[in-house]
């Protein structure tokens, strides 16, 4: 978000309507479309009337903003959004999402509760689950939506042919947010067996599984297993009651001295942690989203839900990449054109000067493109960028030649005015006139070469000028009575030799310029290949790092299960981990081949563009 952009109050991002279900609000999308900074997305969910909005207001650095809804009537319908400058990350925007209370009795129809919970997870980089009292079975039962995630989220559109895919839920950790459990009005002592424990340890104790296979035990374990599987990065904060029951209805109006000081310290600790530790919102592969992309992602997910389908992360990211990469091409091509227009002083002294300027401007445009584009198939879009840049460069080369041509023609026109007058006055139509004519013409040529800034067409225009004087020179030569016929023949041959030498000089210049242009194209291709290779290697390394992190989480969970005596569950997890390690090894070994294929595609498309001047190659 630009520093001058100010969002004084939250707006509804996704509305929960009785008639149309979930709808993305255009005014919220308009706000997000203007945010070109990377975003950190912090969302809160939980039962209605548990004080979620108060915490979000404090994260925004405000007392008011999100409606608190202190009565039994729930105020937040759908998902509300507040975008503020990030207090700890300059150049980032903090996007706060406050969700409609789960289990709101006022709604009657709670079918969209699960979808709101799913969207909150898919859109956030940090998820806060807000509950009251203690983390007991009732609190776990209220979080039953987490159990339904496997039926409401898909990782891939379809498995690869012949591939024995793991269940999607085994890889949810790749894109699920970090998890914070906020326990409000907490009254227990943080102790286990008389020993003090931290809030995080309290959460881990609450997530321990029970042994047994009864239906009751399964119901007890299921939400705990899901939290442990899906959210490896977990944190817990416990809050005292902020004020007396009577004062809670006007909590946002209370002065600091009217609020429980311990609660204030807890809120300050909570906010500091969220501000400092919440990661930017990314998609698989590590690409950080801007506000603009976040809005497009929200639209894609909601449209999928409206169609009756299940949101698929792979499909959403591919659609996002198509939009973003096309926009990256457009922005980079525009930057190149603007930079050339600002920096090019036409005519340039030679072709090399323009090519060097072109190389600088293209490099800056390529850097912009690479910073914005993502996914493996960026080579298609990079080839399109080469095509568009080549078209603009060709126009600048043409304009450069025309500017040089016009300037040289004007210069010769000015320099030849005296000679033109002498010709019209018959000064050269006398004995010895030919030598006089040749002397004046040579002096004109010398003055012409002394003029600065003539550009790339200096030789060509001069040759045209001298060629236009050929008939006149022959006429003066033939009428010069001071010369014998033999002298005239020698002079004529000398004239022809000089013209031939001038033509060869122009041809040599053209050939040298063509060699320069060819060398420039080869250097451009090398640079494009180098940048693509670096980009792909970086993207692939990020994907491998994500896989390693997922494997470490599975191994850690396996160890915890073994420690607690759940050998069957640990054995299953060991099998999953082994499959993931095999997949990781395959991906790492295939990395050079994947990169080579992408580079080959880029080279093939780029060569077509540069050789045939095709402006669109797909």
In a domain, 319, yes or no: no
CB of 74 closer than 8 Å to CB of 104: yes
String of b and e for 153-168 (b: at least 16 CB within 10 Å)? bbbeeeeeeeeeeeeb
What confidence tier does 106 reach under pLDDT thresholds 50, 70, 90?
low
What confidence tier does 260 reach under pLDDT thresholds 50, 70, 90?
confident
Residue 71 and residue 99 in one domain: yes
Question: 151-160, 299-308, 317-326, 380-389: lowest mean pLDDT where?
Answer: 151-160
In 185-320, where do the E strands start and end?
191-192, 195-196, 234-238, 282-283, 287-288
The encoded tokens of residue 400 equal 């450069």
Average pLDDT taken over every residue of the chain? 88
Residue at which a domain ends, from 267, 290, 311: 311
Angle between helical axes of 567-612 and 485-563 (0-180°, round to 10): 170
Please check the confidence at residue 86 and state whether its pLDDT lies above 90: yes
If you write DSSP's letter for every residue of 51-72 in order, what string do you get? SHHHHHHHHTT-SSSS----SS
pLDDT at 73: 39
Q: Which neighbouring-strand residues pair with 283?
A: 287
Question: Rounded to whole angstroms, how far apart are CA atoms 350 and 218?
Answer: 79
pLDDT at 160: 62
Residue 391 and residue 344 in one domain: yes
DSSP state at residue 151 = H
Question: Rounded to whole angstroms, how far apart are CA atoms 569 and 256?
Answer: 49
Cβ atoms within 10 A of the Cβ of 205, count? 12
| Mean pLDDT of the 61-67 span | 83
Residue at which a domain ends, from 278, 311, 344: 311
Residue 524 and residue 473 in one domain: no
Please report, rounded to a whole number, the percentage of residues in the chain having pLDDT higher than 70: 89
pLDDT at 70: 43
Question: Rounded to whole angstroms, how far apart are CA atoms 188 and 196?
Answer: 12
Question: Rounded to whole angstroms, how far apart are CA atoms 13 and 30?
Answer: 10
Residue at which a domain ends, from 311, 335, 364: 311
What confidence tier does 49 reach under pLDDT thresholds 50, 70, 90?
low
In a domain, 318, yes or no: no
Question: Rounded to whole angstroms, how far apart are CA atoms 231 and 100?
Answer: 22
pLDDT at 74: 46
CB of 94 closer than 8 Å to CB of 59: yes
pLDDT tens by residue, 437-448: 999 999 999 999
Question: Rounded to whole angstroms, how far apart are CA atoms 311 and 152?
Answer: 7
Question: Rounded to whole angstroms, how far apart are CA atoms 49 and 102?
Answer: 9
What confidence tier does 545 reach under pLDDT thresholds 50, 70, 90?
very high
Distances (CA, A) of 435 to 259, 428, 439: 107, 9, 6
Cβ atoms within 10 A of the Cβ of 223, count? 20
- Tell me the Cα Rg of the chain: 37
pLDDT tens by residue, 446-488: 999 999 999 999 999 999 999 899 889 888 888 776 655 666 6
Residue 411 and residue 271 in one domain: no
What confidence tier does 254 reach under pLDDT thresholds 50, 70, 90?
low
Please check the confidence at residue 244 and state whether its pLDDT lies above 70: no
Higher pLDDT, 255 or 85: 85
Residue 288 and residue 421 in one domain: no
Instruction: Write out the H or E segment, with its range, that includes residue 408.
Output: helix 378-415
The encoded tokens of residue 120 equal 């909150």
Higher pLDDT, 112 or 616: 112
Higher pLDDT, 24 or 77: 24
Question: Rounded to whole angstroms, how far apart are CA atoms 96 and 43?
Answer: 6
The total number of residues shown for the chain amounts to: 618
Residue 409 and residue 399 in one domain: no
pLDDT tens by residue, 122-133: 999 999 999 999
> HSE of 183 in the Cβ direction (CA atoms, 13 Å)?
20
Provide the phi-psi class of 286: left if phi over 0, else alpha when psi is between -120 and 50, else beta: left
Residue 136 and residue 201 in one domain: yes
Question: 182-186, 355-359, 463-467, 491-495: lowest mean pLDDT where?
Answer: 491-495
Question: Rounded to whole angstroms, how far apart are CA atoms 587 and 577?
Answer: 15
In a domain, 617, yes or no: no
Residue 242 and residue 353 in one domain: no
Cβ-proximal residues to 569 (8 Å cutoff; 6+ apart), any chain: 209, 561
Beta pairing, strands 195-196 & 79-85:
unpaired
In a domain, 258, yes or no: yes
pLDDT tens by residue, 133-148: 999 888 898 888 898 8
Residue 576 and residue 595 in one domain: yes
Measured at the CA of 381, the angle between CA 377 and CA 386, to 5 degrees, comes to 135
- Per-residue 3-state assignment (H helix, E strand, C coil) for 384-399: HHHHHHHHHHHHHHHH
pTM, 2 dp: 0.84
pLDDT tens by residue, 159-190: 665 455 678 889 999 899 999 999 998 988 88
In a domain, 342, yes or no: yes
Please report, rounded to a whole number, the percentage of residues in the chain having pLDDT higher than 90: 63
Residue 479 and residue 551 in one domain: no
Please check the confidence at residue 397 and state whether its pLDDT lies above 90: yes
Question: Rounded to whole angstroms, how far apart are CA atoms 286 and 303?
Answer: 24
Residue 160 and residue 298 in one domain: yes
Backbone phi, psi, residue 579, to 5°: -65, -40
Please check the confidence at residue 618 and state whether its pLDDT lies above 50: no
DSSP state at residue 38 = B
- Per-residue 3-state assignment (H helix, E strand, C coil) for 549-589: HHHHHHHHHHHHHHHCCCHHHHHHHHHHHHHHHHHHHHHHH
Please check the confidence at residue 546 and state whether its pLDDT lies above 50: yes
pLDDT at 108: 46
Q: How many domains does the chain have?
A: 3
Question: 407-416, 491-500, 507-516: lowest mean pLDDT where?
Answer: 491-500
588, with CB counted inside 10 A (0-12, 13-18, 19+), is: middle
In a domain, 6, yes or no: no
| Mean pLDDT of the 574-591 span | 93
Give 471-477 contacts, CB < 8 A, sequence gap 24+. 472/423, 473/434, 473/437, 473/438, 473/441, 476/428, 476/429, 476/433, 476/434, 476/437, 477/434
CATH code for the domain of 443: 1.20.1000.10
Please check the confidence at residue 110 and state whether its pLDDT lies above 80: no
Question: Rounded to whole angstroms, how far apart are CA atoms 311 and 388?
Answer: 35
Q: Which domain holds residue 471?
A: 405-513
pLDDT at 416: 96
In a domain, 81, yes or no: yes
pLDDT at 247: 52
In a domain, 505, yes or no: yes
Residue 453 and residue 570 in one domain: no
What confidence tier does 51 reach under pLDDT thresholds 50, 70, 90?
confident
pLDDT at 129: 96
């Amino acid at each position: 978000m630009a520093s001058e952009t100010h969002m004084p109050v939250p707006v509804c991002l996704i509305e929960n309507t009785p008639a149309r279900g979930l709808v993305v609000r255009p005014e919220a999308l308009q706000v997000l479309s203007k945010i070109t900074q990377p975003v950190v997305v912090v969302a809160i969910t939980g039962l209605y009337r548990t004080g979620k909005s108060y915490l979000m207001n404090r994260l925004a650095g405000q007392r008011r903003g999100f409606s608190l809804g202190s009565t039994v009537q729930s105020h937040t319908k759908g998902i509300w959004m507040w975008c503020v400058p990030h207090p700890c990350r300059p150049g980032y925007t903090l996007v706060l999402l406050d969700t409609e209370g789960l289990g709101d009795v006022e709604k009657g129809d709670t079918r969209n509760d699960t979808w709101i919970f799913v969207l909150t997870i898919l859109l956030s980089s940090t998820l806060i689950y807000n509950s009251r009292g203690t983390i007991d079975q009732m609190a776990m039962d209220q979080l039953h939506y987490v159990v339904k995630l496997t039926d409401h989220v898909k990782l891939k559109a379809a498995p690869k042919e012949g591939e024995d895919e793991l269940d999607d839920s085994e890889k949810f950790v790749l894109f699920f947010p970090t998890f914070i459990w906020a326990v409000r009005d907490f009254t227990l002592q943080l102790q286990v067996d008389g020993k003090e424990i931290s809030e995080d340890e309290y959460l881990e104790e609450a997530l321990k599984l029970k042994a047994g296979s009864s239906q009751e035990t399964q119901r007890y374990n299921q939400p705990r297993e899901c939290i442990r599987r899906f959210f490896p990065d977990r944190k817990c904060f416990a809050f005292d009651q902020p004020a007396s029951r009577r004062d809670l209805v006007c909590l946002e109006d209370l002065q600091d001295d009217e609020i429980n000081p311990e609660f204030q310290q807890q809120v300050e600790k909570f906010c500091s942690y969220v501000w400092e530790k919440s990661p930017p919102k990314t998609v698989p592969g590590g690409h950080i989203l801007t506000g603009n992309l976040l809005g497009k992602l929200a639209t894609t997910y909601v449209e999928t839900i409206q169609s009756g389908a299940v949101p698929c992360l792979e499909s959403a990211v591919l659609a996002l990449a198509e939009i973003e990469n096309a926009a990256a091409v457009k922005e980079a091509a525009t930057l190149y054109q603007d930079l050339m227009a600002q920096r090019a002083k036409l005519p340039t002294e030679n072709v090399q000067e323009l090519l060097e300027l072109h190389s600088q401007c293209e490099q800056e445009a390529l850097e912009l493109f690479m910073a914005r584009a993502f996914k493996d198939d960026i080579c298609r879009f990079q080839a399109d960028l080469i095509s568009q840049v080549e078209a603009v460069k060709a126009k600048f080369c043409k304009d450069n030649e025309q500017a040089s041509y016009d300037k040289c023609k004007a210069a010769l026109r000015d320099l030849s005015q005296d000679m033109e007058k002498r010709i019209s006055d018959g000064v050269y139509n006398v004995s010895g006139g030919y030598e006089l004519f040749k002397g004046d013409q040579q002096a004109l040529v010398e003055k012409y070469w002394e003029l600065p800034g003539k550009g790339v067409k200096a030789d060509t225009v001069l040759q045209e000028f001298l060629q236009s004087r050929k008939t006149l020179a022959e006429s003066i030569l033939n009428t010069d009575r001071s010369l014998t016929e033999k002298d005239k023949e020698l002079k004529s041959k000398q004239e022809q030799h000089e013209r031939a030498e001038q033509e060869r000089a122009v041809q040599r210049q053209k050939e040298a310029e063509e060699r320069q242009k060819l060398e420039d194209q080869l250097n451009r291709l090398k640079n494009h290949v180098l940048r693509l290779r670096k980009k792909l290697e970086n993207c692939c390394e990020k994907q491998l790092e994500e896989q390693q992190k997922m494997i470490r989480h599975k191994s850690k969970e396996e160890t915890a299960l073994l420690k607690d005596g759940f050998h069957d569950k640990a054995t299953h997890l060991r099998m999953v981990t082994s499959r993931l390690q095999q997949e990781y090894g395959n991906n790492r070994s295939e990395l050079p081949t994947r990169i080579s294929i992408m580079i080959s595609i880029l080279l093939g498309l780029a060569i077509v563009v540069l050789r045939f001047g095709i402006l669109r190659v797909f």
